[in-house]
Structure 1
Amino acid sequence: MSSQIAVPLDEFYEHSADSAARYINRELSWLEFNTRVLAEARNESYPLLERLRFLSISGSNLDEFMMIRVAGLVGQVQRGIDRVSIDGQSPTQQIAAIREAVLEINTRQRAAWTELRGLLGDAGITIADHVRVEPSRYTALKNYFLDEIVPVLTPQALDPAHPFPFVANEGLGLLFTLTREKDGAQIVEMVLVPSALPRWVRVPGDKAVYISMERLICRFADHMFPGFRIEGDGAFRVLRDSDIEIEEEAEDLVRTFRSAIQRRRRGQVIQLELEEDFDPVAEAVLLDQLASDETTIIRSDGLIGAKGLSDIVDEDRPDLKFPSYSPRYPERVLEHDGDCFAAIREKDIIIHHPYESFEVVVDFLRQAAKDPDVVAIKQTLYRAGNQSSVITALIAAAEAGKSVTAVVELKARFDEEQNLLWASKLERAGVQVIYGFVDWKTHAKVSLVLRREGTRFRTYCHFGTGNYHPVTTKIYTDLSYFTADAKLGRDAARLFNFVTGYVEPRKTGQLAISPIGLRAKIYERVDKEIENARAGKPAAIWAKLNSLTDQGVIDRLYAASQAGVEVQLVIRGICCLRAGVPGLSENIRVKSIIGRFLEHSRIWAFANGVNIPSAKTKVYITSADAMSRNLDRRVEVMVPLRNKTVHDQVLQQVLLANLLDTEQSWEQQPDGAYARMEPGDKPFNCHRYFMTNPSLSGRGGALEAGAVPKLALRKGAV
């Protein structure tokens, strides 16, 4: 996809100081990322149902983008806020460009669905939306509709006596134009599909036959409307403004969030999806009641809500999915008979998820809950999921008499309601629950365990780049760092005091904490590379992040490039920096990796005056992306890796493998568009590398399966 935000290269030379020439629009960069996700739906090297999964993910991503980012821009326009973006566009200009790009993505989604639908049929999975099914299946489907679906549905006439009903966010509905046979009167009926019903229905029987809920209802609608003739029908889907805004002076944060969650369900309609052949009479009613000038109208010729295709992905066809993968349990912990504290005490440990099991993080807390020598546990919780073993472990610790503190972030988007439930459950168990700052999110991922050992106390810490969430830990690549380093332990305690008691640490020994000093630490390290380059020393920066949008960090990296610093960036999603522009960023390269796992770990590495990678390279892991919100409005941590083994594993295995990947990588062009990298003579897939090689972390040496292949930079490889 051309990124929709391309600037001709000759303009870079003529207007090098112009915002559009220096920066890429954040929203359009995100849409470019989602286009890369969607492209995997047509990647013939993937199993068929995995391709369908990518199509579903692209739909889910786009829904959230419309409900949050576009809704925010619409709100700015309505309130008369004319705040320009990093590339100099007004909210109105951005909305116009976004709509054009969104329509293009929807066109690509429908094309992908058309292709996949045919391939699914060839593989024995029939999509019966517009296909006749054999008589026995038809009878089974009809009986299913009458017995299981009709009792749940509530048709509602639309007339002066029946006001237009409320359609919930992400609500799916149908409108029918009917003629009453006895008197010829015409009425319009609405049927809203309850969220409890499946989006796609598997027709009863051995063969895999699926039909969408809206087509199922339309196919047998005459049974809902006896005495009427159906003149026309149409399915629609609604997306509403789902952002939550909290006033800084809110007196009761819990009560405020409960109220805000209720308001979100009734937010302004941001997007309305309609079937392309929607009945004109019914469509006029729908647009009059739901649409406004700010509503994006999407017309589809056969796919309403790509997100729902995940129901078909669940079909039990392992031959059409990636081979199953079971994460390894860290060997170092097993060597100590499962004693996490003994393993950490011996040497720091880095765990690479999902290749190594997240269960070790849970076991760390479970062991702390049972250990009579553990005095206190402190834990941040941003996203914990709806079946959290971490929560269970904290409750067990509190019930065992430990002092347990949980910092629960209520502002974790779309997890607010779940986090409120967890907070209540934790408090009932005796956990001290803290909600942190009203105007800052606590996004840091930290566990602290204080243990009595002999005549003194020792602090054990876990620092993570991802969430304590049982589902995402299986598909997100993240790092978990366990340490008993006393300096890091003291800094972690200061971090918790900052969040729970607003006691801002005057100084930290190792951790950089935002919004206090993390930005300054990044600037300091970039400036050091600039200084080294000007002094003729080796100078390089490697970084792996989810997003790069902060103007200050981007400008620092531009300055580094102009000073001769080689900058290699692996940015999975949004990137507002333009790479490879002569005179601005010719020494910067940006790539994005899209594959089986979602790249989520955040790593910085600075050459520090010698050729990178080396033992002297400064390496940090962090919970923060290079975004203004992370650096200025969130509580985050950046952790230096000083242990030699951990340092080398992250730098020379994890980070280097990402830089070397060619099979799943896209490279940013100067105009902001991305091009899929050519695999080359020696193709390299970093996900396959981590899945098929022995444990890279949790143990300093090689396992019995053999030594880990050593990675090395090839000239021109990065």
Structure 2
Amino acid sequence: MRKDRKMTETQAHVRSDGTGVVVGDSASAHEESQRTPSAPPAATAPAVDNALPEDRYLNRELSWLDFNARVLALAADPSLPLLERAKFLAIFASNLDEFYMVRVAGLKRRDEMGLSVRSADGLSPREQLRRISERTRQISNRHAHVFLDLVRPALAEKGIVILTWNELDDAERDRLSAYFHEQVFPVLTPLAVDPAHPFPFVSGLSLNLAITVKHPDDGGQHFARIKVPDNVDRFVELESRNGELRFLPMEELIAAFLPVLFPGLEIVEHHAFRITRNADFEVEEDRDEDLLQALERELARRRFGSPVRLEVADDMTEHMLELLLRELDVHPNDVVEVPGLLDLSSLWQIYNVDRPELKDPPFVPATPPAFGERETPKSIFATLRDGDVLVHHPYDSFSTTVQRFIEQAAADPNVLAIKQTLYRTSGDSPIVNALIDAAEAGKQVVALVEIKARFDEQANIKWARALEQAGVHVVYGLIGLKTHCKTALVVRREGSAIRRYCHVGTGNYNPKTARLYEDVGLLTAAPDIGADLTDLFNSLTGYSRKDSYRNLLVAPYGVRKGIIERIEREAAATREGAEGRIRLKANALVDEQVIDALYRASQAGVRVEVVVRGICALRPGVQGFSENIVVRSILGRFLEHSRIIHFRALDEFWIGSADMMHRNLDRRVEVMAQVKDPKLTAQLDEVFESAMNPATRCWELGPDASWTAMPHEGQTVRDHQVWLMERHRQP
């Protein structure tokens, strides 16, 4: 590699080195876009507070990159099972792809349009892009070396070997020759570039080989491109040898047979490259146009988005790189050189090998005693008439609680109606099937399907149509807003009365992610919540714009206002002598108005404890305005996804779907519900106490924006998620 473009290992080390992180769900990587909705419901500009310093906010984009660096730190952690470390390498790569497709794409658009909108910490789009580019090169280099120097050799020691073509013997090459000619060669399409063949379109996230060939007659050299097929396994599995699982990257196999693809020509050079394209599109929501059709049109455009990043193998020549930059219209600052393999998201294939001893031990979620045993379930309706139930996934089973709630409702002849929001569903969702069964049984079924859920649009369109064909009333939400709340309402006839049963949660109605994402949910027959959800669904399906509820906070009108009001009441109670304490658990804390309210609470003496998985724009631990604030990040086997807030002096616990971000508070329909039953609030209190335990493995955010692995070396360490698993195994 050329010296002027080489990055040292020291430069590549992440700030967040240590133990303990998790996957960014789709939401963690593609955070809120900064577009203006069709009907902005509320102003988002933070009020000027002269008592607080101007540099009180951290940059959200750089904070997200620090989050992904914490994911990478797990891949480097030798105490974790080896295949789990490979999984975290794959997660890091997927996260970064989506970050560029959405966040960087949005910044580029604003920079190209000449918009001078600065971030909360005062940076222009161009300055943010410069810093993102610099930080990305550091952590991408570190990512490559964790694989090359740590994980790949460790896998080889355990009998999972990823080889190069040069490491194969003649017999293996002969077998692969037959495989190539029979299975791979027919699907490859070498594309030449010359006056008769324009430079081919390169699809986003595809892996490609850039090739230079030379004519033997005149010595003329020409460029050609081959796309590595994405409908076959990235790693070709070889015959096992001495119990080893052996794999060859597909691009190595194709490169070995380039003379077959270009007969009669000399192969001068070949290099791998990969382009990332802008996927941050808008749907123009017009009342006169079918939203499904508008969305499908925009989805078709997504694949043609402008390039936002070019990844190249670090052995690529200057001449070849210049050609790609020119033909793909990529700025040199958007180039990331990668040592070794490109696109390590393909390591999911390696993770899926049958080696359970190299993975986390299996965990079977519990069924809460209130709902009976797995094989002998109780009536959920009878249980909820006796009192509310709080479920905590994945420690509590989703299938025997929330899913069973909907399935029992679908099968119960006394149930008259089911109304539910669906933001992200799985490929074969039991929830969707239950709603279809309910509709076919003659029940009134309403499904609010959010077809604008980023990167799940196509799947949600499919399920929306299946639901419509079954007779479900399908609604696509409100113009200008995404419907992100997690709510279900069941209306049941009981004698001469009508009773409503409800679920309000923090996670999607998705049985697959419910085994991986940490979420909480409230199941209740409380009349006030039933009345609130009735009003909410009427608002979502009709023209109502109700903005006040009995026991719910509902965005875009009520969540920010309600949270800030309670922060201020907690501060007032503290000034009057109460022991003020605010505990907040979320995926992200970005909203300036909420952050400023927390700063003011800190100044009033309120102890503020934040557990945030990903982005945090709050600057904790600064004398004079945030010395009473502590920020932690816990990442591990499960993705910490729940949103919980506790106000100690007010004695209030709230759970819901909203993160403290502009998109959630201003451009989405979100719901937060108060949990009142002391038995249930005790469960939420346990979650906070464990998360904030001094011995809990985590990262802590410093006033200088650095994240430090805690506890320090030599101190007692406990794992928050392991403790919760053990806690739920006990009656």
Superposed CA deviations along residues 524-562 of structure 1, whole A, max 9, x for unmatched, are 210111101111211110111100000000000000001
User: How far has the Cα of 1:144 moved from its partner?
Assistant: 2.0
Change (3 A) 1:310 1:131: farther
| Equivalent residue for 2:676, pick from 639, 642, 647 | 642
How large is the RMSD of aligned CA atoms in angstroms? 1.9
Structure 1 position 381, deviation (Å): 0.6
Question: How has the CA–CA distance of structure 1 residues 506 and 309 changed in structure 2, closer, same or farther, with 3 Å as cutoff?
Answer: closer
Deviation (angstroms), 1:284: 3.4
CA contact (8 A) 2:97 2:276 kept: yes
1:627 corresponds to which residue? 661
CA 1:353/1:415 → structure 2, altered by over 3 Å: closer, same or farther?
Answer: same
1:210 maps to a residue whose letter is: F
Corresponding position: 1:199 with 2:234: yes
| 8 A contact 2:234–2:249 mirrored in 1 | yes
- Counterpart in the other structure of 1:307: 345
Q: Does 1:64 align with 2:98?
A: yes
Matches within 5 A, 1:504-523: 504-505=545-546, 507-523=548-564
Cα distance in 2, alignment partners of residues 505 and 471 from structure 1: 34
* 8 Å CA contact 1:330, 1:356 repeated in 2: yes
Change (3 A) 1:17 1:690: closer
Contact (CA 8 Å) 1:369, 1:397: kept in 2 or not? yes
* CA–CA distance in structure 2, aligned partners of residues 365 and 161 of structure 1: 60
Is it true that 1:78 corresponds to 2:116 in the alignment? no
Alignment of 1:624-703 (within 5 A): 624-651=658-685, 653-660=686-693, 662-678=695-711, 681-694=715-728, 703=731
> Which residue identity lines up with residue 455 of structure 1 in the other structure?
S
Measure how far apart 1:668 and its partner are. Answer: 0.3
- Listed one character per residue, the Cα deviations across residues 593-638 of structure 1 (whole Å, up to 9, x for unaligned) are 01111100010000126xxxxxxx2101010001111111110011
Alignment of 1:527-606 (within 5 A): 527-606=568-647
User: Residue 515 of structure 1 aligns to which amino acid in structure 2?
Assistant: P
Does structure 1 conserve the Cα–Cα contact (< 8 Å) formed by 2:588 and 2:661? yes
Deviates more, 1:547-556 or 1:73-82: 73-82
Q: How far apart in 2 are the matches of 1:499 and 1:47?
A: 46
Query: 1:382 aligned to 2:453?
Result: no
Structure-2 residue corresponding to 1:708: none
- TM-score, normalised with respect to structure 1: 0.91
Q: Does 1:485 align with 2:485?
A: no
Give the Cα–Cα distance (whole angstroms) in 2 for the partners of residues 495 and 129 of structure 1. Answer: 58
Give the corresponding residue for 1:345.
385
Higher relative contact order (CA 8 A, sep 6+): 2
The separation in 2 between residues aligned to 1:25 and 1:367, in whole angstroms, is 47
| Shift, 1:78, TM fit | 1.2
Report deviation, 1:56: 1.0
Match of 2:7 in 1: none
Match of 1:135 among 170, 173, 186: 170
The equivalent residue for 2:6 is none
Please give the per-residue CA displacement for 1:116-162, whole angstroms capped at 9, x wherever unaligned: 11111111111113651233333332322222111111111111211
Corresponding residue number in structure 1 for 2:372: 334
Preserved CA contact (<8 Å) 2:63 2:616 = yes
Moved more, 175-184 or 371-380: 175-184
Q: Is the CA contact (8 Å cut-off) linking 2:489 and 2:503 kept in structure 1?
A: yes
Q: 1:16 to 1:390 in 2, by over 3 A?
A: same
CA distance in 1, matches of 2:279, 2:489: 34
Counterpart of 2:335 (choices 297, 308, 325) is 297
Residue 116 of structure 2 is aligned to residue 118 of structure 1: no
Q: 1:453 to 1:258 in 2, by over 3 A?
A: same
1:664/1:223 CA distance change after superposition, 3 Å: farther
**Shift in alpha-carbon separation, 1:587–1:280, aligned structure 2, 3 A:** closer
Matches for 1:212-611 after TM superposition, within 5 Å: 212-249=249-286, 251-293=289-331, 296-334=334-372, 337-359=377-399, 360-505=401-546, 507-608=548-649
> How far 1:238 sits from its partner (Å)?
0.9
Structure 1 CA distance, aligned partners of 2:517 and 2:448? Answer: 23
SS of equivalent residue, structure 1 residue 694: helix
The 3 A distance-change label for structure 1 pair 244 and 659 is: same
1:189-230 deviation line (CA, Å, top 9, x unaligned): 211123212222222436311222222211222222222221
Q: CA deviation at 1:663?
A: 4.5
Unaligned runs of 5+ in 2: 1-13, 17-49
Partner of 1:95: 129
Deviation at 1:389, TM superposition (A): 1.3
Matched residue count: 678
CA distance in 1, matches of 2:365, 2:505: 17
Partner of 1:365, secondary structure, is helix
Residue among 48, 61, 67 paired with 2:82: 48
Q: Secondary structure at the match of 1:491?
A: helix
Cα pair 1:172 1:235 within 8 Å, conserved:
yes
Structure 1 runs, 4 residues or longer, greater than 6 Å off:
none
Letter in 1 for 2:705: G
Alignment-mate amino acid for residue 393 of structure 2: H
Which range moves more in the overlay, 193-202 or 628-637?
193-202
Cα gap change, 1:248 to 1:229, in 2 (>3 Å) = same
Partners of 1:182 and 1:227 within 8 A in 2: no
C-alpha distance after superposition, 1:313-369 (max 9, x if no partner): 111111111111121223221167332212222221111111111102111111111
Paired residue for 1:707? none
Letter in 2 for 1:430: G
Q: Secondary structure at the match of 2:152?
A: helix
Quick one: which amino acid aligns to residue 331 of structure 2? D
Give ranges in structure 1 of 5+ residues lacking alignment: 4-14, 610-616, 696-701, 704-718
Output the CA distance in 2 between the equivalents of 1:670 and 1:129.
46
Give, in angstroms, the shift of residue 173 of structure 1.
0.9
Query: CA 1:187–1:602 in 2, change beyond 3 Å: closer, same or farther?
Result: same
Residue number among 9, 22, 39 corresponding to 2:73 in the alignment = 39
Summarize the Cα distance change of 1:331–1:139 in structure 2 as closer, same or farther, 3 Å threshold.
farther
Structure 1 counterpart SS, 2:372: helix
Task: Tell me which amino acid in the other structure corresponds to 1:124.
Answer: G
Change (3 A) 1:179 1:293: closer
Q: Does 1:165 align with 2:200?
A: yes
Greater Cα shift, 422-431 or 381-390? 381-390
Structure 1: how far apart are the matches of 2:649 and 2:625? 23
